[in-house]
């Protein structure tokens, strides 16, 4: 990738490792990787919400990304910045909700998502506890975190 301008991109965690060229998004990599601006623009324009910026790019990288996407730099949403008086916030990852990347990877392999956790009732919590080995109390905490997201 040489001297290309890079942007950190996050992929939504899931049961499958994502590989594009020589870049791999996985639980072990924290689902975040630095990629060239052109690839970042392609991923951010992808029609599914699997990709997002991970952190604040430099001003030059933000301009290059905006140029690649054909938008003004101020239209590049960056986590933590404010737009119209509201903080830009992306949905948390499963690892952020459960507080453990390895546990999130295990849950992801079982088909668990943040949205799915938020929808769990008492029986679902107990079923997931049985399947995952986590305690019902621990899962109830995750459910509350997912609902707050």
Structure tokens at 36: 């060239």
Provide the pLDDT for residue 16.
Answer: 78
Provide the pLDDT for residue 147.
Answer: 87
**Residues 1-36: tens digit of each pLDDT:** 457 899 999 888 777 788 999 999 988 888 899 999
**Residues 47-64: tens digit of each pLDDT:** 776 888 888 889 999 999
What residues contact residue 54 under an 8 Å CB cut-off, 6+ apart? 8, 9, 10, 32, 79
Query: How many whole angstroms separate alpha carbon 53 and alpha carbon 128?
Result: 31
- pLDDT band, residue 67 (cuts 50/70/90): very high
User: Is this prediction's pTM over 0.85?
Assistant: no
Provide the pLDDT for residue 30.
Answer: 84
What residues contact residue 63 under an 8 Å CB cut-off, 6+ apart? 73
Q: What are the residue ranges spanned by the domains of the chain? A: 6-87, 94-148
Helix (H, G, I), strand (E, B), or coil: what is residue 141? helix
């Amino acid at each position: 990738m040489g001297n290309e301008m890079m942007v950190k991109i996050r992929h939504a965690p899931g049961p499958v490792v994502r590989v594009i060229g020589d870049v791999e998004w996985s639980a072990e990599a924290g689902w975040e990787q630095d990629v060239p601006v052109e690839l970042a623009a392609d991923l951010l324009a992808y029609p599914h919400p699997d990709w997002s910026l991970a952190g604040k790019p430099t001003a030059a990288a933000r301009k290059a990304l905006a140029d690649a996407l054909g938008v003004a730099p101020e239209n590049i949403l960056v986590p933590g910045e404010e737009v119209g008086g509201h903080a830009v916030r992306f949905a948390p990852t499963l690892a952020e909700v459960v507080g453990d990347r390895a546990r999130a990877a295990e849950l992801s392999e079982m088909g668990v998502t943040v949205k799915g956790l938020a929808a769990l009732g008492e029986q679902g919590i107990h079923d997931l506890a049985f399947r995952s080995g986590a305690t019902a109390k621990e899962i109830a905490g995750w459910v509350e975190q997912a609902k707050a997201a």
